[in-house]
């Protein structure tokens, strides 16, 4: 056997091991759906349909299913509208990101990740921290205030999606920014929906 053939086998084995470890990680984290790549309206519809079909197999009530579906679509639209390009000098796919849907005994989790410009971090953090600190009635008031302010760009509006997610789920969101370079960071957002049966 040539050294080239040996290298091919070794690389193939490493890849197969990666696939197994990835599957194992998905099982451990109780992830039922994972997607990474471009997020546009077509992908949003496809992934939403997959999630809906997957949830039909569960024993959860209709309200829970609707909340999970709503939050997932809101998160996908957030990536679609707000993901920035990774500054690497290489061509990037606009609106690229990752979404994961998981389920355990008590919760559904919807986790998304996408690249954002570092100059957006303070504004995103401020909105999310405020949203997490508000009670139900305060959230409704804050949402109406944001609508009245009319601070809606061509990409969508001033944290309204984040407010809507917390309103719908009744749970605070978790978020994290992983710095990639001086210009961009990877923004991770995790939402939770209580399971009702």
The sheet carrying 96-103 orders its strands as 31-38, 96-103, 107-117, 184-194, 174-179
How far, CA to CA in Å, does 71 sit from each of 62, 104, 120, 128? Answer: 14, 17, 22, 15
Q: Where are the domains of the chain?
A: 32-194
Confidence band, pLDDT 50/70/90 cuts, at residue 197: low
As a whole number, mean pLDDT of residues 167-182 equals 93
Instruction: List the beta strands (DSSP E) in the chain.
Output: 31-38, 96-103, 107-117, 152-153, 156-157, 174-179, 184-194
- What torsion, rounded to 10 degrees, do the Cα atoms 60, 114, 80, 123 define? 100
- Do the Cβ atoms of 100 and 192 come closer than 8 Å? no
* Predicted TM-score (pTM) above 0.75: yes
Q: Please give the radius of gyration of the chain, using alpha carbons only, rounded to the nearest integer.
A: 19
Confidence band, pLDDT 50/70/90 cuts, at residue 77: confident
Model confidence pLDDT, tens digit, residues 28-51: 888 888 888 888 888 888 888 887
The CATH number, out of the four listed (3.40.50.300, 3.30.565.10, 3.30.1330.60, 3.90.1150.10), of the domain defined by the range 32-194:
3.30.565.10
Model confidence pLDDT, tens digit, residues 156-165: 455 888 999 9
| Predicted pLDDT of residue 129 | 95
Lowest mean pLDDT among 9-18, 70-79, 162-171: 9-18
| Predicted pLDDT of residue 10 | 53
**In the structure encoding, which two tokens stand for residue 62, read together?**
């209709």
Q: Cα separation of 53 and 68, whole Å?
A: 12
| Predicted pLDDT of residue 91 | 44
**In the structure encoding, which two tokens stand for residue 122, read together?**
């303070």
């Amino acid at each position: 056997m040539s050294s080239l053939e040996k290298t091919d086998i070794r690389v193939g084995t490493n890849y197969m091991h990666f696939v197994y470890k990835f599957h194992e990680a998905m099982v451990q984290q109780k992830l039922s759906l994972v997607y990474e790549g471009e997020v546009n309206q077509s992908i949003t519809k496809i992934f939403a349909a997959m999630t809906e079909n997957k949830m039909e197999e569960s024993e959860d009530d209709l309200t829970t299913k609707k909340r999970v579906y709503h939050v997932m679509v809101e998160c996908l639209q957030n990536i679609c509208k707000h993901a920035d390009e990774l500054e690497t000098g290489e061509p990037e796919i606009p609106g690229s990101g990752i979404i994961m849907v998981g389920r355990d005994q008590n919760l559904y989790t919807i986790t998304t990740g996408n690249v954002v410009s570092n100059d957006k971090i303070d504004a995103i953090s401020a909105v999310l921290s405020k949203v997490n600190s508000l009670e139900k009635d305060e959230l409704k008031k804050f949402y109406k205030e944001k609508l009245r302010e009319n601070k809606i760009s061509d990409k969508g509006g001033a944290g309204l999606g984040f407010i809507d997610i917390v309103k719908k789920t009744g749970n605070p969101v978790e978020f994290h920014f992983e710095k990639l370079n001086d210009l961009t960071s990877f923004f991770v957002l995790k939402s939770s929906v209580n399971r009702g049966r």
